């Protein structure tokens, strides 16, 4: 069974509380359970993590690269400015799908640029928590 890391950046642990008009009313635990359930359906072993720390996220990305572990990643605010996260993703050795709950291109101007998109396998955005389901499906079907 393929092990997959679902990694989440800053403020995503506050789902359900933080801007529910943008991110919905479901909690982070709801997201984690959805990912684990989707993984079971797809024959994937899914581990869901969240951090507000850039250093911790980079460590997890290094762990994934070293272990050839596929990743579904919502880098959150790091999407727009973290070249350190981008450089960690560039070291990937398995598929990595960038996901976003909202559509950054339909939001504030500063959210329109993703510094990580160019080193990800692909990007899925704007489908709420279903973005993660689509990301996991992409990982399950990836031949990289």
CB-based burial label for 64 (10 Å; 0-12, 13-18, 19+): buried
Say what the pLDDT of residue 23 is. Answer: 61
17 is in an annotated binding site: no
Does residue 59 have a known ligand-binding role? no
Q: Are 111 and 32 in contact (CB under 8 A)?
A: no
pLDDT at 110 (0 to 100): 64
Residues facing 50 on adjacent strands: 8
% of residues, the chain, pLDDT over 90:
76
87 marked as binding residue: yes
Scan for tokens 């560039």, then name that residue. Answer: 90
pLDDT in tens, 2-38: 999 999 999 999 888 876 666 666 899 999 999 999 9
Q: Which of 23, 81, 83, 132 is catalytic?
A: 23
E strands present in the chain: 2-8, 44-50, 71-74, 96-100, 122-125
68 assigned to a ligand binding site: no
For residue 92, is pLDDT > 90? Answer: yes
Hey, where are the domains in the chain? Answer: 2-141
Is 23 an active-site residue? yes
Catalytic residue among 3, 100, 112, 132: 100
Flag whether pLDDT at 93 surpasses 70.
yes
Task: Please give the average per-residue pLDDT across 83-99, as a whole number.
Answer: 98
For residue 144, the model assigns a pLDDT of: 45
Burial class (CB within 10 angstroms; exposed 0-12, middle 13-18, buried 19+) of 139:
buried
pLDDT at 65 over 70: yes
Say if residue 66's pLDDT is above 70: yes
pTM of the model: 0.91
Average pLDDT, the chain: 91
Q: Does domain 2-141 have CATH number 3.40.50.9100?
A: yes
């Amino acid at each position: 069974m393929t092990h997959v890391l679902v990694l989440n950046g800053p403020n995503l642990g506050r789902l359900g509380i933080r801007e529910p008009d943008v991110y919905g009313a479901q909690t982070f635990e709801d997201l984690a359970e959805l990912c684990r359930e989707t993984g079971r359906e797809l024959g994937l072993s899914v581990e869901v993590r969240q951090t507000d720390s850039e250093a911790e996220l980079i460590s997890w990305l290094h762990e994934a690269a070293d272990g050839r572990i596929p990743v579904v990643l919502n880098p959150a605010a790091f999407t727009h400015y973290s070249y350190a996260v981008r450089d960690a993703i560039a070291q990937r050795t398995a598929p990595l799908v960038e996901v976003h709950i909202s559509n950054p291109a339909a939001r504030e101007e500063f959210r329109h640029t993703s510094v990580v998109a160019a080193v990800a396998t692909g990007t899925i955005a704007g489908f709420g928590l279903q973005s993660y389901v689509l990301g996991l499906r992409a990982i399950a079907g990836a031949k990289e």
